[in-house]
Each structure stands twice: as C-alpha cells, then as structure tokens.
Structure 1
Amino acid sequence: MQQHQNAWAQMGKAVIYILVVMMGFGCLLPLLNILAISFSGSAAVTGNQVGLVPVDFTLAPYQKMLEDSQFWRSFLISVERVFLQLVLNMFLVVLMAYPLSKPKHEFHARGFYMKIMIFAMLFNGGMIPTYLVVKQLGLLNTIWSLVLPGAVPIFNVILVMNFFAGVPKSLEEAAVIDGASPMQVLLRVYIPCSVPVLATVALFSIVGSWNDFFSGLIYITKVQNYPLMTYIQSLSINIADLLKSGVSASTLENVTQLSNKNLNAAKIVVSTIPLIAIYPFLQKYFVTGIVVGAVKE
C-alpha cells in the first residue's frame, strides 16, 4: 500500500513538473517571437513569415536606435529617474511605515493617518488636476515631474508596515535598553530584519519607473527631455519623408530593412535588458517580501 502511494506521489510530481515546464515554455514563446522579429527584415515581418527564428537577418532596427544620440540621452534620463525614484520611494516609504507599524497605544494618531492613507490609495484627483499641480509648481519638462507624483506608493507602505509589525518586539526592547534612539532602532533593528520586503518594494519602484512612458507624454513636451520608454514609443519610420530629405544610398538601404513592426520589437528587447539584468539579484526576496508583508496577524 505504501509503495502504491509513493508511486502515485512520484507520478503527481512528474505531472506537475511537466505542466510547469509547458507553462514556462508557453510564456517564453512570445518573447522568442519578439526577439526573432527584431532581427528580421521588413519584408518577412510584414508578410508574417517570422516564427521563432529570424528571417533575412538584419541589425538595422538596433542600428537605428543605437546610432541615435537622443536614444542614449533618453537612456541616461531614465537611469537618473529610476535612481531618484528609488531613493525617494525607499526613504519616504520606510519613514511612513515605521510609525504606522506601532500599536495605537504607542502612536495615538495611527488610525487617523491610516484612514487618510487608504483614502489616498483608493481615490485621487485624476490626470488633469495632477497635471495642473505639476504645471503650477513649474516642474514641466524636468526630471522631477516624473518622480514626485509617485513619491509615496501607498501599497508599498502597507507592505513594509505589515512587515515591520511582524518584527519581534523583544529586539526593539533590547535595543532601547541599550540606549538606542527611535531612529537607531529603525536603522539597526528594523531595516536589517526587513531586507526581503525592502528588496520587493525596490523592485516595484525600479520596474514601475523604468517601464512608465505615459508620464513622459503628459509632463514632457521637449523630445530631448524624454525618458527612454517615452522616446522609443515615439519612434517610427517614414520612408517617403526620408526620400524627400535626400538621404544617402547606404542609409536608404538600411532603412528599407526596417518596418514599424520590427523596430517596435527591437524597442521591446532593448527596454527589457536592464530589468532582466537587475531582476535575478532581487527575485529571491520577492515571494518572502510579498507574503509576509501582505499578511497582518
């Protein structure tokens, strides 16, 4: 009887592994198709001849982007934005979550601030009032117009707050007995114990600010100030205009290998490279940070 149960358990595990592999491969197929399209000629792409392998291999889409000085300018603007957003988010989220993690008898105004925070998470002024506020503050066409509107992500505050609430009280009491101030308790007890949730909210901040292109369309009117996602979203090919401008034969030959479809595929590939490089260093904390930070006992 025990042997039959073990056999069924092994078969169950095998089925689960097969399903997971199939699901993973299914998620990978569209990415491989996008990669193949980005390296394929415009005729093959337009004719829907590209599957998982490039057809009429070409580097023209990447050459168009990488030879463009505005591409690199926008790339640096996005890097700056991600850095500023990450520092500001982590600073404000931690400082807001720490007092809110205290019980009501230690922080009497906790309930009041929690209500304000939940209300702000569920309701907001909308796009037009936010734009008017940013404009009145003189932040249009600056990096701060991309950073400040999302300075305090309430969802991240709740995750960190719940994680802080789960830190053993005895650790804080021991630090206080040793003469630690509240700020020292935060820096030397809570933050070292909360690496999983802090890495998780850092990942949220990085991915959100890097992938956001809509804020650039709203708050930035000068192309030279576009972040990367906004800039590559605006790229397009118009061969008729190029012919009128009298481009060289070699340039025209490269451009005819392009279409908006394979150029857009190249945009997707280029834009995901930094995230793919960062994610492996933070993903090991992701599940722990989400599960522990989302549950309040």
Structure 2
Amino acid sequence: MIKQTTEEKIWEIVIYFILIVIAIVTLFPFLYVLLVSVTPTVELPNVSKNILYFPKQVDFTAYNQIFQTDTIPQGFKISLFITVVGTLLSLLITVLTAYPLSRKNLPGREVLLFMIVFTMLFNGGLIPTYLVVKSLRLIDKIWALIIPSLVSAFNLIIIKNYFLTIPDSLEESVKLDGANDFVILFKIMLPLSAPMLATIALFYAVGYWNSFFNAILYINNTRLYPLQVVLRRILFSATGDLILDIETHKASMLAVRMAVIAVTTIPILMVYPFLQKYFTQGILLGSIKE
C-alpha cells in the first residue's frame, strides 16, 4: 500500500471539505422546503426571521390539505403515467433505432446519423411542431405529453456508441448458430448493455417527470395537467388556494406550496439510490474488449 505524503493528505482534506460544503449547499434548499412544509402556521413568522428555524412541533396539515383535494392526486397520476409509459416507449424506440445505426454495413448509415445529429443543433421550430401535433389530433390528449419527446438524439447516440464497443466477433459467433438480428439485440446486446440502459432510462424518466412545457403548449384540459404544471400554477398564482380549493385558515399557503414542492420532488429522488451505481459504469464505453 502506497503511503500518502503530508501534502497529499492536506489536499485530500481540502477536497473533502469542499465536497461537504457543496453537498450542504445543494441539500439545504430541499431541507428548507421540508421544514417549512411541516411548520405550524403560528410558527411560520419565525421562519422569515431565521432561515435555519426548526419547528417545535411537526404539523402535517399542509399535506393533508393537498391530498384531500383532487388537483394534486390527479396531477400525480398523469405525471406517473407519462413517466412510466414514456420511459418504456422512449427506451424501446431509441434502442430499436440505435442498433441498426451501430451496424457498419447499414446502407445510408452516415446520412441517417447526420440527420439525427442535425436535430441536436436545429429543431423544427415551435410553430411547425405545434402544427404537426395538431395534425395528428393529439391536442388535449395525454399522448401529446409523450410522443413529441419520444426520442432524444443525445441518448440515441450514446446507446449507438455503446453498441459499437461490443466486439463484432461475439455477434459473428452467435450468427453462426443461426441467430437473427432480433435474437442478437435482445439476447446479447441488451443484457450486456444493462448499466447503460439503466442510465438512459433514468435520463428519460427525469425528463418526463420534470416536463411541463408540452403540457402548457398542447393541453387545455386541467384534468390532464401533470404535477409540474400544477406546481407552476400554484407557485405563480396569487390565488393558489383557489387552484387547490383548500381552506387556507387550516394551513398557511406558504406551507401548502412547500408541501406541493416536496411531493413533486420526492418521488423522482427515490429512484436515484437504486440506479446510482450505474452512473459510474453506464456511460463509460468499452466495458467489453476483445
């Protein structure tokens, strides 16, 4: 074991100190949201005086209020649907597109790749995209929250590049046994690409969960608003109590807003610990070498 020099130990301490400070700064806003959301109404004036104020009593009235209404649960259902269904469909379509593009003998491969990369630099524009969605009769349909964002060119290129790192000899040996492209993709490529696919799935899931612009653009029916749009309406409205249809004398509107932020943030945060290990290996190409 190599012994660290005094200078290396000092630098290690400095680095750890900086990382701890960054972690505290990053986590503090969320801690503040949680504390305010469970602070009783009578103690809320103390929060404005002391940002590190911890409530003497824990009060879940704000959470009870938002879950007694139909607005938050309905928005949660919509967000959950577009996140789960959208992630599965996006992953499927992206993989089915990336695999043939990773085959060097695909006719017109370079042209197709150029067209995909081009969309990362220039998109079709807001009005043309809206007209396409309208022509597909997706306005005020839940699928308008999924289909326009179905495939990310960035994620597609990551998957394609990962497939390129898998040795051709492995594919050739499987073909000698009579396997076709679908068998190679689903029996060989995907199992070997599990860490990368988990990472891409998380990218898609976070994107769908946090998306609100498509809903603002394509959805007029408030029953189809995802949770992020509901949150935006509450935070930017002076009449958030009317949007939620709650009695603000039972819970302060500030506590209610913080409770909504917490409810919106916690579900997607709970996914990270289960997929954290994949970040260190999912995007690092070349996990298999000849």
Using the size of structure 2 for normalisation, the TM-score is 0.87
Q: How many residues align?
A: 280
**1:280 and 2:273 aligned:** yes
Between 1:201-210 and 1:281-290, the stretch displaced more is 281-290
Partner of 1:185: 184
How far apart are 1:181 and its partner, in Å?
A: 0.5
Identity %: 35
Alignment of 1:55-70 (within 5 A): 55=55, 57-70=58-71
Q: Give CA deviations for 1:5-32 in whole Å, capped at 9, x if unaligned.
A: 6333333323322222222122122221
Aligned amino acid, residue 98 of structure 2: A
Asked whether the 8 Å contact 1:139–1:145 carries over to 2, the reply is yes
**CA distance in structure 1 between the aligned counterparts of 2:49 and 2:38, rounded to whole angstroms:** 13
**Structure 1: runs of 5 or more not aligned:** none
2:103 alignment partner, SS class: coil
**CA distance in structure 1 between the aligned counterparts of 2:55 and 2:23, rounded to whole angstroms:** 25
How far apart are 1:224 and its partner, in Å?
A: 1.1
**CA distance in structure 2 between the aligned counterparts of 1:84 and 1:221, rounded to whole angstroms:** 21
Alignment of 1:2-81 (within 5 A): 6-41=5-40, 44=44, 48-55=48-55, 57-81=58-82
Asked whether the 8 Å contact 1:92–1:152 carries over to 2, the reply is yes
Asked whether the 8 Å contact 1:237–1:258 carries over to 2, the reply is no
**CA distance in structure 2 between the aligned counterparts of 1:177 and 1:134, rounded to whole angstroms:** 45
**CA distance in structure 1 between the aligned counterparts of 2:90 and 2:136, rounded to whole angstroms:** 20
How far apart are 1:41 and its partner, in Å?
A: 4.7
Q: Give CA deviations for 1:164-183 in whole Å, capped at 9, x if unaligned.
A: 00012221111111111111
**CA distance in structure 2 between the aligned counterparts of 1:239 and 1:91, rounded to whole angstroms:** 39
Asked whether the 8 Å contact 1:134–1:140 carries over to 2, the reply is yes
Q: Give CA deviations for 1:258-295 in whole Å, capped at 9, x if unaligned.
A: 23x433322221111111221111121113222328xx
**Structure 2: runs of 5 or more not aligned:** none
Asked whether the 8 Å contact 2:36–2:47 carries over to 1, the reply is no
Asked whether the 8 Å contact 2:34–2:258 carries over to 1, the reply is yes
Partner of 1:270: 263
Using the size of structure 1 for normalisation, the TM-score is 0.85
Aligned amino acid, residue 51 of structure 1: I
Partner of 2:249: 253
Partner of 2:99: 98
Q: Give CA deviations for 1:87-140 in whole Å, capped at 9, x if unaligned.
A: 11111110111111122xx11311010111111221112222212221221111
Between 1:162-171 and 1:233-242, the stretch displaced more is 233-242
Asked whether the 8 Å contact 2:99–2:185 carries over to 1, the reply is yes
How far apart are 1:62 and its partner, in Å?
A: 1.7
**CA distance in structure 2 between the aligned counterparts of 1:283 and 1:206, rounded to whole angstroms:** 14
Runs of 4+ in 1 over 6 A off after TM superposition: 239-242
